[in-house]
């Protein structure tokens, strides 16, 4: 099985001690920092912007930062986050005017492009785009808040995208990640892995626990058990 990436969402971290929280969760075994950007328009919540991403880099965080844009206008934020040290930048296709242009812009600025799909977003937007992406982010809750329940129809969606990525992989040798975001917990992560995800966002399940390392280790064990 290919390597899997655990990406704690800082949405559930203690923002008053963000640098320390990110250091601690990476030391606890996380691979990637998931960075949720909400604008109070595209989603009904307001979080953090490029200044905070830059602050984490300046604090010494060298792990990949996975910026999940739930905000408009997308392209201007892409410039700002690329300059602020983002590694991945994912956006929701309905939030931008020109999906292909946004993918190209993210790539041009040296970041890894991803498309984020809401629970009711069909897969058509992956036509003509999938081969240009480094990441497909499947939202398994409606975007806007941490701590929501996993939506089960996401499993079928993950499996369908996994098949498309694998089909493409045989042709192009691609490295496209399939990320799941929302309601991921130790007790459902095995089913999610079996459906084909290889990058796992978890906010409340990790930051809501006393022992980050314990939760991450349990998640890895469950993923491995999925085979």
**CB 8 → ligand DX5: shortest distance, Å?**
9
- 3-state helix, strand, coil split of the chain in percent (to 5) is 45, 20, 35
**CB 167 → ligand DX5: shortest distance, Å?**
27
**Does 9 interact with ligand DX5 (rule: CB under 6 A)?**
yes
**Does 36 interact with Zn ion (rule: CB under 5 A)?**
yes
How many residues make contact with ligand DX5 (CB under 6 A)? 21
**CB 207 → Zn ion: shortest distance, Å?**
13
Q: Which stretch binds ligand DX5 (CB under 6 A): 25-33, 71-79, 144-152, 219-227?
A: 144-152
Beta strand ranges found along the chain (DSSP E): 5-8, 33-38, 65-70, 88-91, 112-117, 135-139, 177-181, 199-202
Selected binder of ligand DX5 within 203, 212, 216, 219 (CB under 6 A): 203
Rounded-to-integer distance, Cα 64 and Cα 173, Å: 22
Helix runs in 6-125, H state only? 18-27, 50-59, 74-83, 99-108
Q: Write out the binding residues for Zn ion, residues 177-206 only, by CB under 5 A.
A: 181
**Does 147 interact with ligand DX5 (rule: CB under 6 A)?**
yes
Rounded-to-integer distance, Cα 18 and Cα 198, Å: 26
Rounded-to-integer distance, Cα 112 and Cα 103, Å: 9
Rounded-to-integer distance, Cα 110 and Cα 127, Å: 23
**Does 39 interact with Zn ion (rule: CB under 5 A)?**
no
**CB 210 → Zn ion: shortest distance, Å?**
23
Tell me whether residue 36 is one of the annotated catalytic residues: yes
Q: Which one of the listed residues 39, 66, 134, 181 is annotated catalytic?
A: 181
């Amino acid at each position: 099985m290919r390597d899997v990436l655990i990406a704690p969402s800082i949405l559930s971290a203690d923002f008053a001690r963000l640098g320390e929280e990110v250091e601690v969760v990476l030391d606890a075994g996380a691979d990637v920092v998931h960075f949720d950007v909400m604008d109070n328009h595209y989603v009904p919540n307001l979080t953090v912007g490029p200044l905070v991403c830059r602050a984490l880099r300046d604090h010494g965080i060298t792990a990949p930062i996975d910026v999940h844009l739930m905000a408009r206008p997308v392209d201007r934020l892409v410039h700002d986050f690329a300059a602020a040290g983002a590694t991945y930048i994912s956006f929701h296709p309905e939030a931008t005017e020109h999906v292909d242009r946004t993918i190209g812009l993210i790539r041009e600025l040296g970041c890894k492009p991803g498309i984020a799909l809401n629970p009711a977003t069909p897969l058509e937007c992956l036509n003509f785009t999938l081969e240009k992406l480094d990441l497909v982010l499947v939202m398994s809750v409606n975007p806007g808040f941490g701590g929501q329940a996993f939506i089960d129809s996401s499993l079928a969606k993950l499996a369908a995208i996994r098949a498309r990525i694998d089909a493409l992989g045989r042709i192009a040798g691609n490295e496209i990640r399939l990320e799941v975001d929302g309601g991921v917990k130790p007790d459902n992560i095995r089913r999610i892995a079996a459906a084909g995800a290889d990058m796992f966002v978890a906010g409340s399940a990790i930051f809501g626990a006393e022992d980050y390392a314990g939760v991450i280790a349990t998640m890895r064990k469950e993923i491995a058990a999925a085979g």
